[in-house]
Amino acid sequence: MAEKMRYVCLNNFCKCIIDLYGREYLRKPTATDVARLYSEHEEKHGFKGMLGSIDCMHWAWKNCPVAWKGSNNDINVLNHYPLFDSLKKDRAAPSPFEVNGHVYPFGYYLADEIYPDCTTLIKGYSTPIDEPRVKFTRFQASARKDVERTFGVLQGRFAILKTPARVMSVNKMRRIMYSCIVMHNMIQEDNSIALSTWEQ
C-alpha cells in the first residue's frame, strides 16, 4: 500500500512539473535557439547546420506487462515529443544554413545506424571505403559522444532513471522522463550553460 501511494505521489508530482514548466522547457527550438546551436556545434565539432545528436538511453522496466516480456521491444518514452514526431515524418523546422555555396533548408541531427534513413538524420558510414569517409565517420562518432554524456549526467542526477522502473504504464514512465528532462534543463539554465532561453 505504501509503495502504491509513493508512486501515486510521484505521478502527481511529475504531472505538476510538466504542466507548470513543460511549455518552457520541453519546447521546439526557436530561430534564436537554432542560431546558437548552429554556432556552438560548428565551433565545437566543425559541423555546419548541426542541431544536435539523437541516441537511446536504456531504462529497464521491472513491471513490464507479462505479455510484452521477452519481446525485446524497446519502448520510446519520448515517442510523442513534437521534435521526434517531425523527424519521423522526415520534416524539421525551417532553419537554413549554407555549405560550399549551397543553401540547405533544414538542420540535421547526428545519429547511428539503428535510425531510419531520412534527410534530418546524418549517419556515419558502416564500412567507410576511403579516407574522407573514414575521417567523416570518426568525427561524426566523436560529436555524438555529447548526447551519451548527457544521458550519463541525467542518470547521475536522477537516481530513478538508473533503477528499473516499477510503474505499470508507458505513460507514467513518459511523465517521469519528461519531468527529469524539465528539471535537468532548469538546472542547466540556472548554471548559465543552457544554449536556449525562453522567449515569451
**Interior/surface letters 32-60, b for 16+ CB within 10 angstroms, e for the rest:** ebbebbbeebeeebebebbbbbbbeeebe
pTM of the predicted protein model: 0.76
Residue 4 has pLDDT above 80, yes or no: no
- The helix/strand/coil state of 160 is helix
Average pLDDT, the chain: 80
Supply 149's cell numbers.
Answer: 554524456
Give residue limits of the domains in the chain: 30-165
Q: What is the pLDDT of residue 17?
A: 94
Grouping H, G, I as helix, E, B as strand and the rest as coil, residue 95 is strand
Please check the confidence at residue 193 and state whether its pLDDT lies above 70.
yes
Amino acid at site 81? Y
* Confidence class for position 18, pLDDT limits 50, 70, 90: very high
| Cα–Cα dist 115/33, whole Å | 25
- Reported for 56-60, long-range contacts at CB under 8 A and 24+ positions apart, including other chains, are 56/114, 57/151, 57/154, 57/155, 57/161, 59/161, 59/164, 59/165, 59/173, 59/177, 60/163, 60/164, 60/165
pLDDT tens by residue, 67-117 = 666 655 555 655 555 556 666 565 666 778 887 788 888 888 888 888 778
Over residues 122-170, the pLDDT tens digits come to 888 888 889 989 999 999 988 888 888 888 888 899 988 888 888 778 8
Question: Given this model, what pLDDT does residue 2 score?
Answer: 67
